Amino acid sequence: MQEAPLMPKATAVWLVENTALSFDQIAEFCKLHPLEIKAIADGDSAQGIKGLDPIQTGQLTREEIEQGEQNKTRRLHLADRKVRVPEQKTKRGPRYTPVSRRQDRPNAILWLLRNHAELKDSQIMRLVGTTKSTIQSIRERSHWNAANLSPLDPVTLGLCSQIDLDMQVAKAAKEKPAPSDHDRVTLLPASVTTAPDHEPVYEDSRAAAASAKSQEDADVASVFAKLKKIGGTKTEEE
């Protein structure tokens, strides 16, 4: 969609006074209603407004106007701007909260502090339209009505929309620092966990079992040896 020229009403005044373009052509170029262009031509509107030459401002060329005068169905095209003016971003202030719902703001703040601790105070201020001191007092439970506060969803209370809340939560999640390697709990690979060095309990149990069996065999052998010795002694005595 074509952008409107700078100072569209002043540009329309100049085109009405200095060209033979139709009302529809001027209205479409200046993004105005044809009846308003007709009122300008009749002197009923835009009185006292000085016309702005679109040729001098680089918004139209003389050739474009002449082609439009010859063909009444032709649309005027805005010339490419030589200088691009960056759009000014307006800084949004705290959200306005109706008087009837201001008593619910502490409950909404408490809900945000409990369920979305990653949100900054400035984000909470934009969502429910409160002050930093109020947020701090509710966080520290020093609010004058802290004993009677109960966490309530600000979307349910109508203090903010679900889209705004999701946007702020997503923004806070992006700004949250990533966990370090020490904070991450990872599983060891199978090649490490199945290695012999990582099975001390199993190896110790096998070694203990083998030691117990060898000790038992030694005891049995010693018993048989003693019995043979005793038997041999009795034979000699006889």
136, pLDDT greater than 90: yes
- Specify whether the CB–CB gap between 41 and 16 falls below 8 A: yes
Residue 87 is predicted with a pLDDT of 62
User: Distance (Å, rounded) from C-alpha 207 to C-alpha 210?
Assistant: 5
Tokens of 111: 């809900």
Give me the mean pLDDT over the 9-28 stretch.
Answer: 90
Higher pLDDT, 1 or 144: 144
Q: What share of the chain is helix, strand, coil (3-state, %, to 5)?
A: 55, 0, 45
Out of 16-25, 48-57, 166-175, 193-202, least confident range: 193-202
Q: pLDDT category, 78, cuts 50, 70, 90?
A: confident
Give the residue carrying structure tokens 């052509």: 25
Nearest to 70 by CA among 14, 25, 38: 25
For all residues of the chain together, what is the average pLDDT? 78
- For the chain, the straight-line distance linking the first and the last C-alpha, in angstroms and rounded, comes to 130
Nearest to 119 by CA among 90, 87, 148, 154: 154
Residue 210 is predicted with a pLDDT of 63
Q: What is the DSSP string of 36-62?
A: HHHHHHHTSSSTTPPP--TTTTTSS-H
113, pLDDT greater than 60: yes
User: Distance (Å, rounded) from C-alpha 77 to C-alpha 29?
Assistant: 7
Tokens of 76: 């005027």
Residue 75 is predicted with a pLDDT of 87
Give me the mean pLDDT over the 207-234 stretch.
Answer: 62
* Per-residue pLDDT tens digits for 178-212: 655 555 555 666 665 665 554 444 455 555 566 66
Q: pLDDT category, 106, cuts 50, 70, 90?
A: very high
User: Distance (Å, rounded) from C-alpha 66 to C-alpha 125?
Assistant: 56
Question: 150: which DSSP letter?
Answer: -
Distances in whole angstroms, Cα of residue 214 to Cα of each of 208, 209, 225: 10, 9, 16
Count of Cβ atoms closer than 10 Å to residue 113 Cβ: 16
Residue 115 is predicted with a pLDDT of 92
Residue 86 is predicted with a pLDDT of 63
Give me the mean pLDDT over the 48-76 stretch.
Answer: 88
Give SS3 for 209: helix
User: Distance (Å, rounded) from C-alpha 128 to C-alpha 104?
Assistant: 10
User: Distance (Å, rounded) from C-alpha 1 to C-alpha 28?
Assistant: 11
216, pLDDT greater than 70: no
